[in-house]
Amino acid sequence: MSYFSDIINGTKTLLTGMRITGKYFFVNLFTRKDVITRQYPDNIDTLKMFDRYRGEVIMLHNENNEHKCDACTLCEKACPNGSIEVIGDKKINPETGKNVRFLVKHIYHLEMCTMCGLCIEACPQNAIAWGQNYHNTAYDRSKLTKVLNKPGSKIVPGLKG
């Protein structure tokens, strides 16, 4: 008796588990709509990640190719695994006559980054943020090392640096 009840219970459990899968299978079969699986990377042109997705660290630039980084190196110090190198230099500010530090290169090693976010939290200028790029593949690890400040960019006027 318990043998047959075990079979009946097992079948019921299986059907319960397959209910959602079966529903989508038959909907797709009869409506011919591609509602179930998107085959990566076939949808790479249209796939948009959600806002909170941590794809990579980026530096924000405005429409004038200006960023907010003054090369303070707090992000570099906050990074637990050395994924960030901030290279800065000093120059005389012609308006104040003071020696100020400015950003030369903000180097980011995506290949080592664990997406912990400590660098972004540490930045007092909100100069860096999360980017939604998810297509981070390369045959050569060095291709995942990036310079976050864009060529020719400079700090937003009025910010120190």
Give the nearest distance from C-beta 148 to ligand SF4 in angstroms: 8
Of 18-26, 31-39, 110-118, 131-139, which part binds ligand SF4 (CB under 6 A)? Answer: 110-118
Q: Which of 39, 36, 40 is nearest to 20 (CA)?
A: 36
When asked if residue 78 is in the footprint of ligand SF4 (CB under 6 A), the reply is: yes
Of 7-15, 21-29, 78-86, 152-160, which part binds ligand SF4 (CB under 6 A)? Answer: 78-86
Q: What share of the chain is helix, strand, coil (3-state, %, to 5)?
A: 25, 20, 50
Helices (H) and strands (E) in the chain, counts: 3, 7
128-131 and 56-59 beta bridge pairing: antiparallel
When asked if residue 117 is in the footprint of ligand SF4 (CB under 6 A), the reply is: yes
Per-residue interface string for the shown chain with ligand SF4, residues 42-71, x marking contact by CB under 6 A: ---------------x-----------xxx
When asked if residue 155 is in the footprint of ligand SF4 (CB under 6 A), the reply is: no
* Main-chain phi, psi angles of 141, to 5 degrees: -55, -30
Question: Would you say how long the chain is, in residues?
Answer: 161
When asked if residue 73 is in the footprint of ligand SF4 (CB under 6 A), the reply is: yes
